[in-house]
């Protein structure tokens, strides 16, 4: 049993501890600095009543609104939201392909692809609500403005994912087609597209899921979908209608996630 003392444990590495401590100090001080700005003004005097009314709204859905099949009803708004998400995603998938090609190192070379990557990052950073407002200024309020906003904003993510998938494809296939005498078009259709198409479709579907959520927010600024009726219901304190919309939103988004997820699983 005395043998145990013979075991000399290796010394714990200490190189990282300074960096770690610094990291924690910075994080905590940032947090404290930020906490200062959050002014908790307390719940409003009417909060208890509001909350009670909200809970009542939660258990008494607005059936009339749910069953209203006209333009002012919920089903129309839901379909509109889905169509905005579908069209917006499609527009961005089309636009993202040329931009992704420009951003891919193995297509245009290292230097040029940097420029493409910068463009993609900038598009991704630009808030979609502001894009929506700009497009409302151009095409007027309504679904097309939402489609354009999603279409442009989603290039940021799709372009990045597309170019990553182009960069990681097997160059051998392309060389094989070339060595058999294939021209540029044949290289594109026989070597590049078959390799990346499954991933492209999968990413596009993934973006479609994200866009469903975004499309329901865009209505707040007037870009179509059920964002607008939702905000109006909240402002008018119509809690039954509010929660009917919120529940329908959750169900729709979840169903689309499941559907799109199952397609994506089959693809890759």
Partner 1 sequence: MNLKQPEAIVLKRPSQLKKYVTIALVIIILWGSARFANFSLIDIIENFHQAGRLLKQMFGKPAWNYAPKVIPPLLETIQMAIVSSLLGAIVAFPLALLASSNFTENKVINQITRFILNIFRTIPSMVLASLFVAIFGSGNFAGVAALFIFSFGLISKLLYESIEAIDQGQVEAIVSLGGNKLTVLRYGIVPQILPQFISYTLYTFEVNVRAAAVLGYVGAGGIGQFYERAYAFRYFDRVGIIVIITFVTVLIIDFISSQIRKGLV
Q: Does 221 bind partner 1 (CB under 8 A)?
A: yes
Q: Which string of x and - marks every residue 48-87 that binds partner 1 (by CB under 8 A)? A: --xx--x------------------------xx-xxx-xx
Q: Does 120 bind partner 1 (CB under 8 A)?
A: no
**CA neighbours closer than 13 Å in the CB half-sphere of residue 194:** 11
Beta carbon of residue 231, minimum distance to partner 1 (angstroms, whole number): 6
Q: Does 267 bind partner 1 (CB under 8 A)?
A: no
The piece of 6-14, 102-110, 174-182, 213-221 that touches partner 1 (CB under 8 A) is 213-221
Give the list of residues 6+ apart from residue 264 with CB closer than 8 angstroms, or none: 202, 205, 206
Q: CB-wise, 20 or 184, nearer to partner 1?
A: 20
Closest CA to 153 of 169, 135, 171: 135
Q: Does 231 bind partner 1 (CB under 8 A)?
A: yes
Q: Does 242 bind partner 1 (CB under 8 A)?
A: yes
Interface residue list for partner 1 (CB under 8 A): 27, 30-31, 33-41, 43-44, 47, 50-51, 54, 79-80, 82-84, 86-87, 90, 121-122, 125-127, 129-130, 133-134, 137-139, 142-144, 146-148, 213-214, 216-217, 220-221, 224, 227, 230-231, 234, 237, 242, 246, 249-250, 253-254
């Amino acid at each position: 049993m005395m043998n145990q003392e013979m075991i000399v444990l290796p010394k714990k590495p200490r190189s990282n501890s300074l960096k770690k401590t610094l990291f924690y100090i910075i994080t905590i001080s940032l947090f404290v600095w930020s906490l200062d700005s959050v002014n908790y003004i307390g719940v409003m005097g009417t909060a208890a009543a509001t909350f009670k009314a909200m809970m009542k709204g939660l258990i008494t859905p607005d059936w009339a609104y749910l069953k209203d099949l006209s333009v002012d009803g919920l089903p129309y708004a839901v379909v509109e939201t889905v169509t905005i998400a579908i069209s917006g995603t499609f527009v961005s998938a089309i636009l993202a392909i040329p931009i992704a090609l420009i951003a891919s190192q193995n297509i245009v070379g290292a230097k040029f692809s940097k420029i493409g990557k910068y463009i993609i990052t900038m598009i991704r950073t630009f808030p979609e609500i502001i894009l929506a407002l700009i497009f409302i200024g151009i095409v007027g309020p309504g679904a097309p403005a939402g489609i354009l906003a999603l279409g442009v904003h989603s290039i940021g993510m799709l372009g990045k994912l597309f170019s990553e998938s182009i960069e990681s494809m097997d160059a051998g296939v392309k060389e094989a087609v070339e060595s058999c005498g294939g021209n540029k078009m044949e290289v594109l259709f026989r070597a590049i597209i078959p390799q990346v198409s499954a991933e492209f479709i999968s990413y596009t579907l993934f973006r479609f899921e994200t866009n469903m959520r975004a499309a329901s927010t865009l209505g707040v600024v007037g870009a179509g979908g059920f964002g607008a009726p939702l905000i109006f219901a909240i402002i008018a304190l119509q809690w039954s209608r509010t929660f009917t919309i919120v529940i329908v939103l959750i169900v729709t988004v979840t169903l689309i996630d499941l559907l799109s997820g199952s397609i994506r699983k089959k693809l890759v």
